[in-house]
Amino acid sequence: MWTIATDVDKTARFYRDVLGLPATGIQDDDWREFQAGETTLAVTPAHVGLHPPRVLMALAVDDVDAALQEAREAGATVLHETRDTPACLNAMIADPDGNPIWLHQRHDGTAG
């Protein structure tokens, strides 16, 4: 999965420091990779003439309330507080480019 960032360093710090995603060994001036379970997330700048697209991702967490509190304390923008749906508990935060990120804890215990 890729997300296009207006500021690669700032966005990479968000995914590393706020969400706690471990960086992979693949990092350079305009490319950062992070491991999110079985998924690799790449952060890269927009290429000439392209505007950053919106990405909507969902990250499975063990405890939505705790994950939301950690993200809030690390400076994340909270788009909505924890709510209960038929499938899961979820909350939403945004990365520095405004891309929404669902934090979710499925009722059936799966990652979704």
CATH classification of the domain holding 89: 3.10.180.10
- Report pLDDT for 52: 58
Position 111 in a domain: no
Position 112 in a domain: no
**Whether residue 35 has pLDDT greater than 80:** yes
Position 24 in a domain: yes
pLDDT (tens digit, 9 = 90+) per residue, 80-106? Answer: 999 998 888 999 999 988 888 999 998
Domain extent, residue 77, equals 2-46+54-106
Closest by CA to 111, choosing from 92, 87, 94, is 87
- Report pLDDT for 84: 94
pLDDT (tens digit, 9 = 90+) per residue, 10-24? Answer: 999 999 999 999 998
Please tell me the total count of domains within the chain.
1
Position 96 in a domain: yes
pLDDT (tens digit, 9 = 90+) per residue, 45-89? Answer: 876 555 655 677 889 999 999 999 999 999 999 999 999 988 889
Instruction: Please say whether the beta carbons of 56 and 99 come within 8 A.
Output: yes
